[in-house]
Structure 1
């Protein structure tokens, strides 16, 4: 009886504490001071003038220019910010307080100070350490910062989960940057050194694409919907303003580091600015469709039939000959597994590339994925797991970016029938399907689809997962000289790692991964 009383007392104390915190740190009654909308495209600026000529030569089509590597992706954002003359609208899940994060945030400051209207929407889960700098940016007359699903308790921030978990467990995972209403960058990259592939240490393999044409207006309308949604709040409601102006000085210090100098060189060496100046921007012309979740998903209020997961399932089911999936975090779930297994049994060549246990940065996700491997393999689905290759390769083409040498996979790219490719933020997991908001572009491009298929056919960078004659999972490492090494346990992992993963595999947490 005494133990029961103690437990009841603890439960009451915890309940009172949670209720007290919720009352002490409520959401503001009003999200933002006013609604704002996208500006008309600026066709008179250097970027607009270049793009207008190209669009007039290809009426009704969209132009795409995949970003071949991390440095190119960073340089494209910096160059676009410098070319902007009227507006920049950017939304990101993570914006890190590091070299590239500071440099790109300072590019937004510089644009705002020369008269460009800057709107920056960031998810509050991914801006650790940036409160002061974001407040400084927001204080500029031409810059406006909003926060998606904010933590009302700023320090310690994560304690907010204790009293507002249902709302805070839903995040904005979208990534886009639209300049002057004439060009956009959409894909899987967040803002931070680890996403832009330069310098020593771990990096993510990811993919973005520049897009121009009618699709840009659709991305801009989507941004407006998120910017003015019920989940977006003016940063000034949560971030304390500071009299100290440190953004530019911190960015200058970042530029002077060895890593920063490398990124500066990436900007200087990139041909994008020269092509804009010469009005000769090279793109591939095709039909592009925007896949994007309703921002109401951030509050659990979106119509389930209109979620991006339904569009992607239809995309997969339309496959007649092949379906190639690259997903850093792969948990197909019961429904997704049924779709993939059904396609494979019907004769569609289904291939999936995800991280190996050694390469993943989220072990619980890999543990959940393990539950589906055997049935997927039995149905005929080909499984590839990225090797955590330690050697850096600086120059990489688009196919290599899709699945090349890197420490960990972060890309979300899906190809169908060698004709269509989806590039975006969507991971094939329950969190992307039901909790986080997502976006991406479906591109009718045989060239990009062929690049993806070609690279997946090359096993230099991955393990091929198969079933042995005894129906045990094995990993095959195939070398260029034809040598094949067979592993009977997750390669390059310790017994402790595998044991811990096995335990996590049975925990009932898949719904939130």
Structure 2
């Protein structure tokens, strides 16, 4: 009985410590709130982007222009060129920003813009930010550049104290900002699934992600800017400098040394070569482009509110969450649904949705990662139990290979080979993993963004994306799905009685276990399926 009392007292003590920690954080966050600011309004011809895109605004009226960006090198170049051409403002919002080749080059783009007088607002989720404050503080010290963090830890230097704080504030620290947006001069935006880092731009020597963005002009950009402002000015976002207080004294020479090192590293890369011409952005917004912008009258840039991360449940307002827009679009299907989701854990309600559609005659197809391709095995473990019921209900499943047999084939979700222009060095060609998050319904309506079809995107993280109705743009998403499900890039799943089978269209082989996954991967995922953690996936 004494043991029970001690356990009860321990649990009560931890709950009190957790409550105190969250209260103290709330008090600190209230005092540390940054000065509010808003997106700068567009002008007729104040900047190069104004001159380039004002004619588009005139043609579009209140509509949006949109183009799908699947090639990874193009995605990097468009961001860098938008920053280079910006003359008024840059607003960037990301879950991950790696300190690697492409991450440093895009930081350099922000720094250069700030030095020529552009107002730069950089908003990053703090989950992956441990130990990286020095350079960010040096950037923040520039007159026109400010760095803020979403839901950050107060402890910035000691890993143990940071971990302890995050454990005590677990209810709130488990809720992250997964949004991704790059907005220049309030004239052009890139919104989609890509974070900032080598693996998102085909620069990694190990694994590169297939991903997708939408390039936006017109009203869609202003919608993205309003979402950015909502986050930037929210109680969940804290200026980096406020987290360091009087200790925020960056070494003056640090940024100069770092920039010199970045430039040396980048000098011979395909990424510097790709920026040399500087024409890609102008080509993509040209009416004569081979991949033109579509005029889309029905386009909405959507996001969860930042309060989804609030520690107090009453502030979260679930009726405003993005998952309801996603579910509404999927429920509306009459003929066909195509889903690309790298981390796919539909849960009982999602399985019922897709099974119900298949029972009503809707053609439902889903592409996700195979065990050998996924970078998050625990999520694959959460998905495994849903495969048989989905297949039995008539849903079609494909799982992407670790290394597609034909990386250079045009139309693949992000082939580095197809993105390189003549005379350029080819980016790294390591293994491939799916990271695209998109849906297309009835060949008319679609979604591209950061939302995975899993519990974490639905209930924990803030997510962002673009929902639209346009047959031309939806057709591109449908072709992207077909490329992902192609036998050279994915295994088709089927059932033989109660047993799963993977059809390898390249080798002409049928697998009866997870293809190209080692025994340890298979054993690990079987163990992980036993853990009661689906709500966190």
Taking structure 1 as the reference length, the TM-score comes to: 0.91
**Is the contact between residue 184 and residue 211 of structure 1 (CA under 8 Å) also seen in structure 2?**
yes
Residue 290 of structure 1 pairs with residue 304 of structure 2: no
| Distance change in 2, residues 1:260/1:88 (3 Å) | farther
Mapping of 1:340-355 within 5 angstroms? 340-355=354-369
Q: Distance in 1 between matches of 2:444 and 2:63?
A: 16
Partner of 2:534: 510
How far apart, CA to CA, are the structure 1 residues paired with 2:259 and 2:405? 29
Distance 1:494 1:396 in 2: 28
How far off is 1:166 after superposition? 0.7
Distance, in Å, in 1 between the alignment partners of 2:303 and 2:56 is: 26
- Equivalent position of 1:137 in the other structure: 139
Is the aligned partner of 1:382 residue 2:396? yes
SS of residue matched to 1:203: strand
1:255-286 Cα deviation digits (max 9, x unpaired): 32368622111222563255489897742222
Distance 1:413 1:19 in 2: 38
Alignment of 1:356-395 (within 5 A): 356-389=370-403, 393=407
Q: 1:421 to 1:397 in 2, by over 3 A?
A: farther
SS of match in other structure, 2:30: coil
Q: CA 1:251–1:485 in 2, change beyond 3 Å: closer, same or farther?
A: farther
Distance 1:307 1:138 in 2: 32
Match of 1:46 in 2: 48
Tell me what 2:462 maps to. Answer: 437
Per-residue deviation, 1:370 = 0.9
The 2-side partners of 1:124 and 1:15 are apart by 24
1:455 equivalent in alignment to 2:480: no
Map 1:203-282 onto structure 2 (within 5 A).
203-239=208-244, 240-257=248-265, 261-269=269-277, 271-273=279-281, 275=283, 282=292
- Alignment size in residue pairs: 508
Q: For the structure 1 residues 373 and 259, does the alpha-carbon distance in structure 2 shift closer, same or farther, using more than 3 Å as the test?
A: farther
The answer as to whether partners of 2:211 and 2:435 remain within 8 angstroms in 1 is yes
Q: 1:402 to 1:207 in 2, by over 3 A?
A: farther
Tell me which moved more, 138-147 or 57-66.
Answer: 57-66
Residue ranges of structure 1 left out of the alignment (5+ in a row): none
* CA apart distance, 1:419: 1.7
Change (3 A) 1:256 1:226: same
- Worse-superposed segment, 398-407 or 238-247: 398-407
1:461–1:65 Cα change, 3 Å: same
- Looking at structure 2, the residues matched to 374 and 133 of structure 1 have their Cα atoms a distance apart, in angstroms, of 49
Conservation of the 8 A alpha-carbon contact between 1:463 and 1:476: yes
The question of whether the paired residues in 2 share the 8 Å contact of 1:330 and 1:365 is answered with yes
| Contact 1:322 1:418 (8 Å CA) reproduced | yes
1:410 aligns with 2:435: yes
Distance 2:491 2:396 in 1: 11
Change (3 A) 1:57 1:14: closer
Quote the residue 1:200 is aligned against: 205
Aligned match of 1:476: 503
Matched, 1:37 2:38: yes
Deviations 1:25-75 (A, max 9, x none): 773432424211111113311112111112323333311122231111111
Is the contact between residue 66 and residue 208 of structure 1 (CA under 8 Å) also seen in structure 2? yes
2:141 equivalent to 1:149: no
Distance 2:115 2:180 in 1: 24
Q: How many angstroms apart in 2 are the aligned matches of 1:107 and 1:147?
A: 19
Contact 1:47–1:276 (CA<8 Å) still a contact in 2?
no
User: 1:72, 1:270 within 8 Å by CA — same for their partners in 2?
Assistant: no
CA contact (8 A) 2:86 2:113 kept: yes
**Which residue in 2 is equivalent to 1:86?**
88
Whether 1:401 and 2:414 are equivalent positions in the alignment is: yes
| Aligned residues of 1:175 and 1:187 also touching (Cα < 8 A) | yes
Distance 1:436 1:6 in 2: 35
The equivalent residue for 1:333 is 347
1:60 equivalent among 56, 59, 62: 62
Long gaps (5+) in structure 2:
419-428
Please give the per-residue CA displacement for 1:122-143, whole angstroms capped at 9, x wherever unaligned.
1111234421111111111211
Assess, with a 3 A threshold, how the Cα gap between structure 1 residues 485 and 177 changes in structure 2: closer, same or farther.
Answer: same
Separation (CA, whole Å) in 1 of partners of 2:528 and 2:204: 33
Cα separation, partners in 2 of 1:431 and 1:39, compared to 1, 3 Å: same
Deviation at 1:472?
Answer: 0.7
Q: In the TM superposition, what is the alpha-carbon distance from 1:232 to its structure 2 partner?
A: 0.7
In 2, the alpha carbon distance for the partners of 1:384 and 1:391 equals 15
Cα contact 2:266–2:272 (8 A) shared by 1: no
Structure 2 CA distance for aligned equivalents of residues 336 and 249 of structure 1: 51
